[in-house]
Amino acid sequence: MKINFKLFTTFLAVAENASFRKAAEQTHLSLPAVSMQIKQLEERLGVAVFQRTTRRVELTREGEDLMISTRKALAELEGALARIQQAAEVQQGQLSLGCVPTVAGTRLPALLVAFAKTYPAISVSVRELSQPDLLEAVRRREVDFGIGPMPEKHGDLEFEPIFVDDSVALMPAALVSLDKTSISLRELSRLPLPLLSLGASQFQRKLNQALEDDDMSPSMSYVVTHVNTLVAMAEAGLGICILPAMAAPPRTKLKSLRIVRPSLSRTIAIMKIKSHTLSPSAARFVQLCGMLEPLPGKKTG
């Protein structure tokens, strides 16, 4: 039997009012129209749902069962519609996002605070992932969207750039003149350069490629996995540390110089499945991300 909600709404109005006339007033239908709809319902069910007399309208046993089920069904439907509307208005819901560690440890916390102030009923789940794992999590729809460096090949994903993160060289202040603010990659190639392992960083792969393109062969005595280790080695005087500006520690005795000729940078972007429509809450968070700018003192050049 195909469900006709108009019939069930009219049935419930008659049942609750015990009157065809009052049901007609409540539903803004004519009395004949109400009678016709109840007749259609009974014909479809194959049983009578009301006992009619000149004075009273009473539910049959089947009618009582139908009234209970109809009330439950309509209440469930109203609840679902309310939940959908609340989600559309970003009043409640869930949001899952993935983020690379350099963004998660610098820019993401402030975004989460701002989002929570505006949308306190939205539950946010964050996964901190390396770029390869982040791309895969987005592809598998394990997260609503990702925040991280834009890869060279987009594949089945689409990207919305947020800002550009320049690279910097962290070096002991004793090796740098006070007025120096930038350094060329060739100058850096003449100094000891502890590097991140290729598997640890897309950035390191780009750096190695830039060195190879200009036939530069720096001294690489150490290959490490973690940024903190790289910075610690530079602070200990074991070499020069090259990092995305965002990954540079806020408090260090090393001096930060912007890298030029060539400049090295990465584009931080929102990543999601192509043609995939984000939920209202996810779309609002992405809008918030679009307000980000490079960190003060680390602008592109």
Burial degree of 288 (CB within 10 A; 0-12, 13-18, 19+):
middle
The predicted structure's pLDDT at residue 30: 94
Mean pLDDT of the chain: 83
As a whole number of angstroms, the distance between CA 190 and CA 214 comes to 13
As a whole number of angstroms, the distance between CA 202 and CA 111 comes to 24
- Asked if residues 270 and 147 have their Cβ atoms less than 8 Å apart, the reply is yes
The pairing of beta strand 145-149 with beta strand 265-273: antiparallel
Residues lower than pLDDT 70 in the chain:
1-2, 82-83, 85-92, 194-202, 218-221, 292-301
The predicted structure's pLDDT at residue 60: 93
The predicted structure's pLDDT at residue 297: 42
> What domains appear along the chain, each with residue ranges and CATH number?
5-88 (1.10.10.10), 93-163+266-289 (3.40.190.10), 167-265 (3.40.190.290)
The predicted structure's pLDDT at residue 28: 92
Q: Where are the alpha helices (DSSP H) in the chain?
A: 5-17, 20-27, 31-45, 61-88, 101-104, 108-118, 131-139, 185-189, 202-213, 227-235, 280-289
The predicted structure's pLDDT at residue 14: 93
- Asked if residues 35 and 7 have their Cβ atoms less than 8 Å apart, the reply is no
Whole-structure pTM over 0.85, yes or no? no
The predicted structure's pLDDT at residue 86: 58
The predicted structure's pLDDT at residue 136: 94
Predicted confidence (pLDDT) per residue in 88-136, tens digit? 656 667 899 999 988 998 889 999 999 999 888 888 999 999 888 999 9
The predicted structure's pLDDT at residue 201: 60
